[in-house]
Amino acid sequence: MFRLDNKVAIVTGSTSGIGRAIAEAFCAAGAHVIVSSESAEATAQVSAELGATGIACDVTDPEALKALIAGTLELHGQIDILVCNAGIAGKNGDASLEDFDRVIAVNLRSQVALTGLALPHIAKQQGSIILIASLAGLRGNASINGYALAKAGVVQLARNIAVQWGPQGVRANAISPGLIDTKLLADLPQTGDFMTRRMQMTPLRRVGTVEEVAGAAVFLASPAGGFITGHNLVVDGGTLITDGS
């Protein structure tokens, strides 16, 4: 029930971190994976390492998004799964409106644009869309306003697609990771009481791994998740639900 044999899956932002882990897990489950990031060099390297296909794409470029869809169809003739993972954190604190616009463009607008292009093809396969959101989009935030707003929008986008395209057999879900061991974690304060407080707020008392997020994506893309749509799967070790005890 967790196999993806002969499915064609596009994963954006898949040359590092969560995106790469999802691409690798999809390959292991039998899918034909399109690895994609804005760096042509990184895309070529990671696709070669995974035995996948690489198509470089800047998700803020409308023509590049069209080329990503067209290239996938030319190579494989179908699209079964789309994972919109590409994203940036932006600046903390009172960032400029220019930074805000960039964060929204990469994290939310690109997902609206790419799903719009892919959905007619995914509907032919009665396939699945997975949007990578964040725990930040489910709680108030003091310093990552644009990022949190974008990720909240991503969750709502998944719900909207689920309602609009469900009658054609398309499933759409979001995944909201909590604190995961990625480059973003390395950029957070490692001294003082930040990590101590965060672990106190996480019942499992540890950060998550990219493989654990990838496992959730495989579940949602596979027949095992066949009756799940419009859902936001939180992968956070329990941070969202705890009272800090």
Beta bridge partners of residue 180, listed in sequence order? 208
Q: What is the pTM of this model?
A: 0.95
- Which of 26, 147, 165, 219 is labelled catalytic? 147
**pLDDT value of position 234:** 98
Q: Position 230: which residue type?
A: G
**pLDDT value of position 90:** 81
* Cα–Cα distance, 112 to 131 (Å, whole number): 10
The CATH number of whichever domain residue 71 belongs to comes to 3.40.50.720
Sheet holding 32-36, edge to edge: 53-54, 32-36, 8-12, 81-84, 128-132, 171-177, 232-235
* Cα–Cα distance, 133 to 131 (Å, whole number): 6
Count of alpha carbons within 13 Å of 71, Cβ hemisphere only?
17
- 3 within a domain of the structure (yes/no): no
96 Cβ contact partners less than 8 Å away, ≥ 6 residues apart: none
Tokens at 229, concatenated: 């749509």
Of 83, 203, 95, the residue nearest 148 (C-alpha): 95
- 1 within a domain of the structure (yes/no): no
For 117, the domain range is: 8-234
Query: Do 188 and 180 touch, CB atoms closer than 8 A?
Result: no
- 242 within a domain of the structure (yes/no): no
- 155 within a domain of the structure (yes/no): yes
Is 147 an active-site residue? yes
Q: Per the structure, how many domains does the chain have?
A: 1
Of 231, 210, 244, the residue nearest 158 (C-alpha): 231
Q: How many helices (H) and strands (E) does the chain have?
A: 9, 7
Give the start-end residues of each E strand in the chain: 8-12, 32-36, 53-54, 81-84, 128-132, 171-177, 232-235
* Cα–Cα distance, 107 to 84 (Å, whole number): 9
What is the full per-residue pLDDT of the chain (245 aa) written as tens digits? 999 999 999 999 999 999 999 999 999 999 999 999 999 999 999 999 999 999 999 999 999 999 999 999 999 999 999 999 999 988 877 778 998 999 999 999 999 999 999 999 999 999 999 999 999 999 988 878 899 999 999 999 999 999 999 999 999 999 999 999 997 777 665 556 878 888 999 999 999 999 999 999 999 999 999 999 999 999 999 999 998 88
- 245 within a domain of the structure (yes/no): no
* Cα–Cα distance, 185 to 202 (Å, whole number): 15
- 96 within a domain of the structure (yes/no): yes
**pLDDT value of position 111:** 98
- 123 within a domain of the structure (yes/no): yes
Kindly tell me the sign of the dihedral angle through the C-alpha atoms of 116, 78, 28, 55.
Answer: negative
221 Cβ contact partners less than 8 Å away, ≥ 6 residues apart: 4, 7, 9, 26, 31, 81, 83, 128, 130
- 136 within a domain of the structure (yes/no): yes
